[in-house]
A = this chain, B = another copy of it.
């Protein structure tokens, strides 16, 4: 029900996903009277793999997360997460209120043993493809052991979803030398280096994120959110200046017409919509957050991300990895 467009986007995207994934089944959780009319074009085979779970209310995009947890037990978000907690669904995908999804996810699904807080990860473009950043805003004050937890969770997820055997894990910092950075980051670097199952490649600077030096870049949620939004901001500025520059006179507008395929190609490569689907890692269940502004095909990427994570059993794998780590530390749970 969430996002800028609600069921108008999410329902058709769900039907598309059924066609892409022959073994997929989907529960559409929301206001039945809004969803039903959108299913009129479905074939009976598709309808067999779809079910509507009616919800009386919707968490508003600007609703306070803590209030939503207490008061919105009849909301589509609550019921969708409840379906995951009950084992009726393998994953929950939402384009709704991020803060509420985080708080409800934590309240309903609980975090994995050994994980203090869930974290948000998403893919960003690099020279040769993309990498993941974690955390992107769920946790604004992180200790070194939180950063270690992020590294372990993220590494398992990237290995599973991207099929990379030993994902390169970097730690976001303001310099490559060991003496650089704040205390948490320097301590986290030592913790990460000690973990043999992590392929830790050291500090990555802000520009290193996009040069493809790592498959996963770990950071505090405050820093990660600002790094991501700053770079998106500059990209938008470039695109705006380019349009202005190409629109200056008739000759240039003609040129822009000729250059359009090149510019569209670039836009497609950098489009955040193509990497839509931020995973909430660290919960006892799979939760994927779509951009609120996602259109039908972009919302599809978020669904695909959830399918991959479910097929790969990401939460279970994270749990196993955490247990191994705890054992290798003589069961010293406290260090987490």
Bitwise interface map of A from 170 to 195 toward B, beta carbon under 8 Å scored 1, else 0: 00101000000111000000000000
Asked if residues B237 and A125 are in contact (CB atoms below 8 Å), the reply is yes
For the complex, count residues of A whose C-beta is within 8 A of B.
Answer: 50
Report Cα–Cα, A241/B233, bound state, in Å. Answer: 18
A206-B228, A262-B246 given; A233·B211 CB < 8 A: yes
Asked if residues B235 and A238 are in contact (CB atoms below 8 Å), the reply is yes
Option from B140, B205, B210, B225 in Cβ contact (under 8 Å) with A206: B225
A183-B141, A223-B222 given; A237·B262 CB < 8 A: no
Asked if residues A233 and B231 are in contact (CB atoms below 8 Å), the reply is yes
Query: Which residues of A (203-228) have their CB < 8 Å from a CB of B?
Result: 205-211, 219, 221-223, 225-228
Report Cα–Cα, A18/B5, bound state, in Å. Answer: 60
Report Cα–Cα, A98/B325, bound state, in Å. Answer: 40
Please give the distance in Å from A171's CB to the nearest CB on chain B: 12
Asked if A127 is at the interface (CB within 8 A of a chain B CB), the reply is yes
Report Cα–Cα, A188/B126, bound state, in Å. Answer: 35
Bitwise interface map of A from 309 to 333 toward B, beta carbon under 8 Å scored 1, else 0: 0000000000000000000000000
Asked if residues B255 and A236 are in contact (CB atoms below 8 Å), the reply is no
Question: Counting chain B CB atoms within 10 Å of each CB, which of A225, A234, A246, A270 scores highest?
Answer: A234
Asked if A265 is at the interface (CB within 8 A of a chain B CB), the reply is yes
Please give the distance in Å from A318's CB to the nearest CB on chain B: 25
Q: Which 6 residue pairs are nearest across A and B when measured between Cβ atoms?
A: A206-B229, A207-B233, A206-B230, A231-B234, A210-B233, A227-B230
Given contacts A210-B237, A252-B262, 10 further A-B contacts (CB under 8 A): A140-B181, A205-B229, A206-B230, A208-B233, A211-B233, A211-B236, A222-B223, A226-B227, A230-B231, A238-B238
